[in-house]
Structure 1
Amino acid sequence: MMMSELQVQMLELKSYNTLGRAAAAFSLAGLVEEVYLAQEGWRDQSHAEGGELTTLELLENCAFTKSINSSRRSAASDPELSFTRCAATLTVHHEACSFALVLHSSGSTLDSTSSASVSRSTGKQTLYSGRAPGYVAVLDAVGSQHKCIVIFALVCCCAVLIALIFSAVDVWGDDEDGITEDSCNHTCRFVLVENIPEDLSIPYKDTVPLTAGLHELLDRARRSVEIVSPWWALNSTKSESDLPQAKQGQILFRQLMSLRSRSVSLRVASGLTDSPELKALARSGADVRYLNMTALTRGQLNSSFWVVDRKHVYVGSAIMDWRSLSTMKEFGIIFHDCSCLALDLHRIFSLYCQLQHKDFLPSIWSKRLYALYNRDKNLTLFLNGTEAGAYISSSPDVFCPKHRTKDTEAIKRVIREAETFIYISITDYLPMMNRSQPKYWSLIDNMLREALILSRNLRVRLLVSCGERTEPLTLNFLWSLKALCVESLDCSVEAKFFVPREQSDGRLYRINHSRFMVTDNSVYLGNPNWVGNEFVFNAGVGVVIRQRPQENNTTSVVKRMKAVFERDWHSHYSKTLDPNNIPACSMHTVKENIRV
């Protein structure tokens, strides 16, 4: 590059403002090499003429000194800008620019009588001056000062990086609408909701119809509705559209579609990629997030819960399928005006949303995904006027950030704290990993055995749903549990199958989808079936509520859920596990053994 061209580019710095001059001056670092080439040419020319071109003359010729002096004058009124210019030396690795910047930052100036030259033989700066020996010390300090700045910058970067890692700065953090642990509501109202098919002669026992409870949640929504469901089929197929039961799903779907007209946002997390209903909701303005559970855990998304306005909550067995609102027996719980619990459940929803389209799990979770409450730090609530402790659990284990209680840990705590009885209503009970290569999974089964052996006068009842897909080994495991108390007066194990009516085509549907456990002082209500796969690979949530036994209190969660269990237990649909009258739970024996 010709010297005149370089001078023109550098002289253009005069037209910039203060910040622009500094930025442009440092951007010329890439041209320094060409400056050196020009310097060597000038030096050769100077020696040919019998003289020596000084560094001062070089800087003056390329207008670099003028830019620096101009920037230094403005820096006095803007220290932050001055620091920015000094920090820029970290990216400049050429002697000429370093020399100029050191002079700038130190406030030194070169008078016109100074004589200096720059040697590049070893990459080290040396100043030769006959008239201004003070400048020698300045340039001798350039190397050490440059190293100090680099080291200081690296230390700062490391400190910031460590702070980011250990404080888990919220790169993904979601807005909490200003709700905190201190400002959330601890006084809540709860209702138990269930769907009882019309052809089952079971009365509602202190419960509300599921459809009524869900519609009330949507009617109360003012800002947001967040839904997690493993399946979406609220609209029936053409062959099913004539069924009167199918209308409930259509009504709920239309209400979800109308949320946007009320300025209520709808957010959905699901494992489905080709659901027509989710696509329709997305076109209407819903934010639909997809979780690739196969890539994340080799499992499925089985969670089913709602969070409305960050203060109302639904957790239960029902999914977004018209059958859950009509032909299936479902059970769940709704909390109203319970923002503390809703805030914690919302964090699980946020975790699902942040895993959208990902095929790996983060090594560090955002701090806003940490659990607010757990088995050791319960949320203190007043549910319908009764004091209680509560927390949310989750599965699988890899979906549990800091402080989050795992579902298996929650179940274990509830079983261990039981004193007089443990009642379990579950769709499947199978202590196995029921996959291509089945494995024995004894975690929950061992918990029950330990409780039966170590606790005195403990009564255990298991009500298991019976259907075509019921694993025959379920009978063996239940018999094994019963055998522990055959000759013991200190424990009692009873098992029954909830057997529905035989369908007209001979098929036997497992219509009882209840998944809860109630003891004398706690309840656990969750999404997972009690099968190894559900806790190890599939995603689900649970809610635990602890209450002190109170004889005269009939409004507590424990008392009401116990009443629901006993109603089903004593119904004529529950068949005792008897070796002489084993209920048929497989398709090929339905017609022989089922007589309701």
Structure 2
Amino acid sequence: MGLDGAYKQLDPLEHREAPAPKRPHGAALFAILSILFLLTFLVLLHLRLRGDAGSACDDSCRIVLVESIPEGMTLATSNPSTFEAWLELLTAATRSVDIASFYWTLTNEDTRTHEPSAAQGERILAELLRLPRRGVAVRVAVSAPSAKAPLDDLEALERSGAAVRAVDLPRLTGGVLHTKFWLVDGVHLYVGSANMDWRSLTQVKELGVAIYNCSCLAKDLAKIFEAYWALGVPDASIPAPWPDNYSTAINLETPMELELNDTAAAVYFSSSPPPLCAAGRTRDLDALLAVIDGAEVFVDVAVMSYLASTEFSRPERFWPAIDDRLRRAVVERGVRVRVMAGCWRHSRAAMFPFLRSLAAVGDNRTRYDVEVRLFLVPSSTAQSRIPFARVNHNKFMVTDKAAYVGTSNWSGDYFERTAGSALVVAQPGAGSGTFRERLQAVFERDWSSRFSVDIADTESWGSRCGPR
């Protein structure tokens, strides 16, 4: 199966030159005008395919921060839960739901813990299974499952009438499809850290965004989904270059200008890894570094995993791209940097020396302002038995200029081999309740909470973080 006719060719335009009279004959004039009309049409068609029809959006876009706060953890929030946002999106769906996902385990079958908090995930799956009967087309692009991956949800989705494609990124790029986003009816979307996993709703701390009534942004994110979808056929290969209909003009250089909650913003989506970026698409690493470079006062980072190396590729490689850029912001521009990493039993041992090294840049004599903390999610005895749970899974950054909400951890493999995406929102002006300020408020709440400990306080976290 090809890429749905994405490559199209036009026959060359040929015409003969007539002898040059003082005035063109009627037929010649008609031919000239026809050629000009056709050329104009082709240019406009090309611009439309690239998304260049305009960098402004007239939609009344509404953006909402959504969170998953693990059960038994007290953190004040006025933000809707991930479960509430997903349920609202499914209820609103009338035509289509497209989901890009890493894996699926919305029921409790994989853990065999009979955990009551799986009920929210089971409700989401039940609603998804009903959609085809309501006439809603469902498409799921998922990372090619490993031998041990649960398949029950995906098989149930296919039986319900949903279309499922497994993207073999291990073969194509050496990574996985780690992206987590939804598209509903071509006008609503979700992007964030939450996997299609019941634990992401009740047992893992997550953060994402839901955007409503925003066809211009949904249309652009859909191009990333269509790339995944095209690569989900047997023996697919990555086009080089990607056809024009995957391209975009909404990027770091020319973001979409729109109103988010009645406040001016400049917005774009980035993607990784580079081979999956069509023309015009900003690479995720470039977007992340640009947000750091644009900061004048502060950079606040909340991410589960932070390493100045690769995590999964072998041999392990030093990969200082992000770490260097944060240090440069501190030293060259006097920017305050705070990094809050996740801490759980699966944390890589190498993460902690890298974090200590970054924290060591902070110095009263030089006035380099750097702080590093770890965020620990508490667990009861029963909760501690739930596998791969009880961690701060957030992947966001906020500065005095912009907000970045992504799907990738901060180490080399995620930006070089693994499929991820991020939303970048520039809102430099201060204003009551802007999206950037709301994200900053979440960071401040977590940073100052009793669940956050200084990286130097090994006694508080040493027995809880990393392999035993």
TM-score normalized by structure 2?
0.83
2-structure distance, mates of 1:354, 1:282: 18
Question: In the alignment, which residue of structure 1 is the partner of 2:331?
Answer: 453
2:139 corresponds in structure 1 to: 267
Residues 1:358 and 2:218 are matched in the alignment: no
1:211 corresponding residue in structure 2: 83
Q: Which amino acid aligns with 2:70?
A: P
Amino acid at match of 2:191: V
Whether 1:235 and 2:107 are equivalent positions in the alignment is: yes
Which fold has the larger relative contact order, with Cα–Cα distance below 8 Å and residues 6 or more apart in sequence? 2
1:266-285 map, 5 Å: 266-273=138-145, 275-285=151-161
Match of 1:405 in 2: 282
Matches within 5 A, 1:458-473: 458-473=335-350
Partner of 1:431: 308
Matched residue, 1:388:
265
Deviation digits for residues 421-462 of structure 1 (CA, Å, limit 9, x no counterpart):
110000000011123311100111111111111112x21111
> Retained in 1: the 8 A contact 2:144–2:169?
no
CA distance in 1: counterparts of 2:141 and 2:389, whole angstroms: 28
Deviates more, 1:229-238 or 1:356-365: 356-365
Deviation string, structure 1 residues 41-65 (Cα, Å, up to 9, x no partner): xxxxxxxxxxxxxxxxxxxxxxxxx
What SS is found at the alignment partner of 1:497?
strand
Query: Matches of 1:473 and 1:238 in 2, distance apart?
Result: 29
1:518 lines up with 2:390 in the alignment: no
CA contact (8 A) 2:56 2:256 kept: no
When residues 259 and 181 of structure 1 are mapped into structure 2, their CA distance, relative to the original with a 3 A threshold, is farther
Q: Which whole-Å CA distance do the structure 2 matches of 1:201 and 1:426 have between them?
A: 20
Distance change in 2, residues 1:238/1:269 (3 Å): closer
Q: Distance in 1 between matches of 2:74 and 2:359?
A: 29
Look up the SS of the partner of 1:432 in the other structure: coil
Which residue, 467, 481, 485 being the options, matches 2:362? 485
- Cα deviations by residue, 1:393-436 (Å, 9 ceiling, x for unpaired): 00001111100001110011100110111100000000111233
Q: 1:448 to 1:285 in 2, by over 3 A?
A: same
Aligned CA distance change for structure 1 residues 486 and 239 (closer, same or farther; 3 Å): closer
SS of alignment partner, residue 575 of structure 1: strand
| Matched-pair contact (CA < 8 Å) for 1:466–1:510 | no
> Which of 251, 262, 284 in structure 1 is aligned with 2:123?
251
Name the CA distance, whole Å, in 1 between partners of 2:72 and 2:420: 30
Equivalences for 1:289-438 in 2 at 5 Å?
289-356=165-232, 357-434=234-311, 435-438=313-316
Secondary structure (helix, strand or coil) at the match of 1:433 reads coil
Change (3 A) 1:510 1:530: farther
Q: Percent identity?
A: 36
User: 2:442 is matched with which residue: 552, 560, 564?
Assistant: 564
- 1:31 is matched with none
Distance 2:58 2:130 in 1: 28
Hey, what's the Cα distance between the residues in 2 that align with 1:279 and 1:334? 27
Distance in 1 between residues matched to 2:89 and 2:365, nearest whole Å? 48
User: Once the 2 structures are TM-superposed, how far is the Cα of residue 244 of structure 1 from its aligned partner?
Assistant: 1.8
**Do 2:56 and 2:257's aligned partners in 1 also have CA atoms closer than 8 Å?**
no
More helix by share: 1
Letter of the aligned partner of 2:126 in structure 1?
R
Whichever residue aligns with residue 226 of structure 1, its letter is: D
Q: CA deviation at 1:183?
A: 9.8
| 1:291/1:572 CA distance change after superposition, 3 Å | same
The residue type equivalent to 1:287 in the other structure is: A
Alignment of 1:32-111 (within 5 A): none
Which has the greater radius of gyration? 1
Residue 582 of structure 1 and its aligned partner are, at CA, apart by: 5.8
State the distance in 1 between where 2:342 and 2:107 align: 26
| Residues 121-170 of structure 1 deviation map (CA, whole Å, 9 limit, x = unaligned) | xxxxxxxxxxxxxxxxxxxxxxxxxxxxxxxxxxxxxxxxxx9xx99x99
Q: 446, 452, 457: which one pairs with 1:574?
A: 452
* Amino acid paired to 1:433: T
Q: CA offsets per residue over residues 349-388 of structure 1, 9 Å max, x none?
A: 0000111123531122111100230000010010111000
Structure 2 unaligned residues grouped into runs of 5+: 1-38
* Kept after mapping to 1: 8 A contact 2:339/2:372: yes
Q: CA deviation at 1:241?
A: 6.9
What SS is found at the alignment partner of 1:381? strand
Distance 1:182 1:475, change over 3 A: closer
The one-letter amino acid paired with 1:484 is: V
Offset of 1:577 from its aligned partner?
Answer: 1.5
SS at match of 1:560: helix
Following superposition, the deviation at residue 184 of structure 1 comes to 5.9
The one-letter code matched in structure 2 to 1:197 is: P
Counterpart AA for 1:383? L
CA–CA separation in structure 1 for the residues paired with 2:433 and 2:380: 37
Residues 1:534 and 2:406 are matched in the alignment: no
Query: Who is 2:67 aligned against?
Result: 194
- Which whole-Å deviations, capped at 9, do the CAs of 1:504-531 have from their partners, x for residues lacking one? 2767955111100000110111001001
Alpha carbons 1:260, 1:284 under 8 Å: kept:
yes
Moved more, 558-567 or 486-495: 486-495
SS in structure 2 at match of 1:439: coil
Amino acid of the structure 1 residue aligned with 2:127: Q
Checking the alignment, whether the CA contact within 8 Å between 1:394 and 1:404 is kept in structure 2 is: yes
Q: 1:200 to 1:415 in 2, by over 3 A?
A: same
| CA distance in 2: counterparts of 1:337 and 1:355, whole angstroms | 28
- 1:198: Cα distance to partner? 1.7
Shift of 1:182: 8.2
Judge which range, 573-582 or 517-526, deviates more.
573-582
Shift of 1:252: 0.6
Q: Is the 8 A contact 1:291 1:358 kept in 2?
A: no
Does the 8 Å CA contact 2:356/2:456 hold for their aligned counterparts?
no
* Residue pair 2:273, 2:283 contacting (<8 A) in 1 also: yes
Letter of the 2:155 counterpart? K
CA distance in 2, matches of 1:522, 1:355: 32
Pairwise CA RMSD = 2.6
Q: Deviations over 1:99-129 (max 9, x none)?
A: xxxxxxxxxxxxxxxxxxxxxxxxxxxxxxx
Q: CA deviation at 1:491?
A: 2.8
Structure 1-normalised TM-score? Answer: 0.66
State the alpha-carbon separation in 2 of the partners of residues 488 and 514 from structure 1: 33
Q: Which residue of the partner structure matches residue 496 of structure 1?
A: 373
Q: Distance in 1 between matches of 2:457 and 2:342?
A: 18
- How far residue 187 of structure 1 moved from its aligned partner, in angstroms, is 2.5
Structure 1: where are the runs of 5+ without partners?
1-162, 589-596
Deviation of 1:314 after TM superposition, in Å, equals 0.3
Q: Which has the higher strand share?
A: 2
Matched position secondary structure for 1:469: coil
